[in-house]
Amino acid sequence: MAQRQINPTRMELTRLKRKLLTAVRGHKLLKDKRDELMRQFLEMVKKNMELRESVEARVQAALGNFALARATMQSAALDTALLVPGQEILLEADVRNVMSVNIPVFTCKFRNLDPGSIYSYGLGLTSGDLDEAVLSLSEALSDMIALAEAEQGCKLMAMEIEKTRRRVNALEYVLIPEMRESIKYISMKLDENERSTQIRLMKVKNMVLEQAHHYMERQNADFE
């Protein structure tokens, strides 16, 4: 591994050790966050899939009804029938916080409380197919709004999970091993320094003793 230039000092060692502790703790926390996010995501995706299937089926059925209405009515008459809508939807957006991911929650409000207000036309001049079509579409609406919530939630959670996963992996496979390596390098260097100091001291002590007592000279004299 490419070793970064680090000073083999005691201060650096303490600093690195503290940093490693934080990194390990952060890694554990992020891992937990990722796991919990994943669990929630899978639940949400399942719900999302069901909603999407139901919405798609219902919207398509409604569109089919509209096609029927179009076939039995003059296009100009149909346009006039839907020209001025009798109903208006207003959404109130709330935020649900799932593991620090903000997911929208809507409450639906209708301007016109009369359920018949979706029929914005006179019944005399329009075909019955149109009524069917409008009704089927309005029934699909609540699911469509729920789908929007779920799908946005899935999207945001997927992004968050990806981000968290990258962080976990960076910590696990790059930062933490690198720090461990550095700590090992520094402690080895420090040990080495200590040993060399010890040896130097022993040597110096020998030299000093030699100068003071002249052991070698005496030894040589004894031999002669």
Give residues in contact with other proteins (CB under 8 A).
Answer: 38, 41-42, 45-46, 48-49, 52-53, 55-56, 59-60, 62-63, 66-67, 70, 78-79, 82, 85-93, 95, 102-104, 106, 109-112, 118-120, 133-134, 137-138, 141, 144-145, 147-149, 151-152, 154-159, 161-162, 165
CB of 177 to other proteins, least distance (A): 22
Q: Which is nearer to other proteins, 70 or 189 (CB)?
A: 70
Q: Which is nearer to other proteins, 11 or 93 (CB)?
A: 93
Give the residue among 100, 104, 120 at the shortest CA–CA distance from 112.
120
Q: Which is nearer to other proteins, 42 or 201 (CB)?
A: 42
Q: Which is nearer to other proteins, 11 or 95 (CB)?
A: 95
CB of 49 to other proteins, least distance (A): 6
Give the integer Cα–Cα distance in Å for 98 and 157: 9
24 CB-side CA count, 13 A? 10
Burial of residue 60 (number of CB atoms within 10 Å: 0-12, 13-18, 19+): exposed
Q: Which is nearer to other proteins, 56 or 192 (CB)?
A: 56
Give the integer Cα–Cα distance in Å for 203 and 207: 6
Long-range contacts of 35-38 (CB under 8 A, 24+ apart): 36/99, 37/98, 37/99, 37/101, 37/157, 37/160, 37/161, 37/164, 38/161
CB of 124 to other proteins, least distance (A): 17
Place of tokens 């059925």: 61
CB of 66 to other proteins, least distance (A): 5
CB of 28 to other proteins, least distance (A): 21
In 9-151, which ranges are E strands? 89-98, 101-110
